[in-house]
Amino acid sequence: MCGITGIFDTRHRRDIDRGVLQRMNDSQLHRGPDEGSVHVEPGLGLGHRRLSIIDIATGQQPLANEDGSVVVVFNGEIYNYQPLMAELQAAGHRFRTKSDTECIVHGWEQWGEDCVKRFRGMFAFALWDRNRQTLFLARDRLGVKPMHYALLDDGTLLFGSELKSLLAYRGGQGGQGGLRRDLDPLAVEEYFALGYTAEPRTIFKQAQKLPPAHTLSIRRGQPLPEPREYWDVHFTGGNPSTLGDACAELRQRLDESVRLRMIAEVPLGAFLSGGVDSSAVVATMAGLSDGPVHTCSIAFDDPKYNESEFAAMVAARYRTDHRVETVKSDDFELIDTLARLYDEPYADSSAIPTYRVCQLARKHVTVALSGDGGDESFAGYRRYRMHLMEERMRAALPAALRQPLFGLLGRVYPKADWAPRVLRAKTTFEGMARTSVEAYFHSVSILRGPMRARLFSPALKHELGGYDARAVFEHHAARAGTDDPLSLVQYLDLKTYLVGDINTKVDRASMAHSLEVREPLMDHKLVEWLATLPPALKVRGGEGKLLLKKAMEPLLPEAVLYRPKMGFAVPLERWFRGPLKQRVRDAVLGDRLAATGWFDRKYLQHLVDAHQSGVRDYSSPLWTLLMFEAFLRNGVDAPAAPAGQPNSRESAPALA
């Protein structure tokens, strides 16, 4: 696992300032503390920070072919590199290392841009072909590894694993000519709806994310093209497998996926939360390991959030070398650290325990396997079952009756935060008045449309020009290729929530501690196969993850498999009425948010007062505002910090 960055003069061959490139590279020191190198030639600079995992002795980067005409910097793992290496050697290519990185160089020579279709793994890489005067950027199918880029006004292209490497660039006369800091109002709309900025947008107008399963081929002297998609998942549901046959095949496929991800020359372990996904990964690892699996868990001192007893069951069953640390329920000191870490506003509060479990794991291992991706592919989210219920009701009533009836009920029904979940009908009524895609977007939004309309000032609404973050979902829904309601929302989450929230959270939290996290449940071949299975094998009778749970029945305790889903949560509601009461008030009602001119002061006051008086639970909107203010306050251009430590600074320049 590594960090990559670079500079490419798309128009000419102007000299690259090695010092500037080094500064960009060093800004990602935490991603690769073992080694750091750069490659510079006329009009091109490549930087690489290395966390040594495979071929520690000879796998240094940037790595070139025999004559130095093809050079690559690479972040990630190609899990099928050994058979690829044998195939390429048989075709006449000569390898001087045993690293998966060299497969990219020779794969490019052999297959060109289609080389990415042969790679099985998580990756983001930049490859320079001097003979073709072409820079080739690529990102893995499910967006596990990040890639940011920006084309500056003078034709300079910057790219990097994290936005902070682009922000470290200063070129032109007097150190000017870097990335413009003006924020994108459309990204702000997406952030307050979703809690993250969806691909391909970033918080800065001038920078973009390369979407998952896309490549970008830039030839010197030609305009910057649009990224090209090389893969997509197709939910067909036509596989006639019975539940028993599917369980047997799933165990075989999971064995293969986990085995591939256990290849390493450094200590390796797993996260064990006590949930079904991580427990399934650990059980599979135990069956493939000669010795005990190293496992790590976080416990909470608040029983409402504590799953450690279930993790202990699995650890005891497989006699793992299990490490547990207790996190205080008032562990909110990370707020500013997270703001610096993520480079953009990011509002998933589970980033706090994720950061802590990565911190614990890195004390004992360099590589950890996780259960991320299971909810999306196996249909584990509670909201999927609610959506299916609503879809049945939508299908039973004509739109001419349904929309006005439920629209009225949604407007007048009280918001019952205090009531049991089954009685919280307002969201359901609001969803019933919408189309399927609109309803799903509404259900997952942090601040729903009416709240954003009250939150945003006339100035921001003018800048938005009518843009609604719902367009992100509508864009992907148009390409989903399925009318099945469960498959559609799974596809939407694979394209949005998994990439923008889950993968972003884990990548930044793990890399902050120089820890590589691997994701067997996101193996693209496994995801492709699961998409062919009938939805009834995933959700049945109100039970989500049916297939995974049934397949794991011989391997995991029933108490782990069939208990209510908890999630990795923190007590925001209590924080904002207790130890963070003044902090959230100061942040939300303070000068920084006011200075943007984007928020309605009266509505901000309402959110704070109503929450702190106990009238409403506005903890999620307040956290979203708190993290936006922290982003503005901390900035994203702090100098690199020591390995394993987040960047730290007292203050940052105001962002325009």
Catalytic residues: 2
Helix (H) or strand (E) holding 497: helix 497-497
How far apart (Å, rounded) are the C-alpha atoms in residues 66 and 321? 44
Contact 165, 25 (CB under 8 A): yes
Of the CA atoms within 13 Å of residue 345, those in its CB half-sphere come to: 29
Q: Which spans in 522-577 are helix H?
A: 524-532, 546-552, 558-561, 572-575
Scan for tokens 């069953």, then name that residue: 317
Of 501, 489, 490, 400, nearest to 438 (Cα)?
489
Q: Say whether the peptide bond before residue 200 is cis (omega within 30 degrees of 0).
A: yes
Q: Is the dihedral of CA 499, 193, 472, 438 positive or negative?
A: positive
- Strands of 134-139's sheet in order across: 63-64, 70-78, 121-129, 134-139, 214-219, 228-229
Of 281, 291, 279, nearest to 315 (Cα)?
279
How far apart (Å, rounded) are the C-alpha atoms in residues 154 and 14? 11
Of 374, 358, 164, nearest to 257 (Cα)?
374
Q: SS3 of 182, please?
A: coil
How far apart (Å, rounded) are the C-alpha atoms in residues 504 and 342? 8
Biggest CA–CA distance in the chain, Å, is: 73
DSSP 8-state symbol, 540: B
How far apart (Å, rounded) are the C-alpha atoms in residues 195 and 192? 6
Amino acid at 548: L
How far, rounded to the nearest angstrom, does the alpha carbon of residue 623 sit from its chain's CA centroid? 19
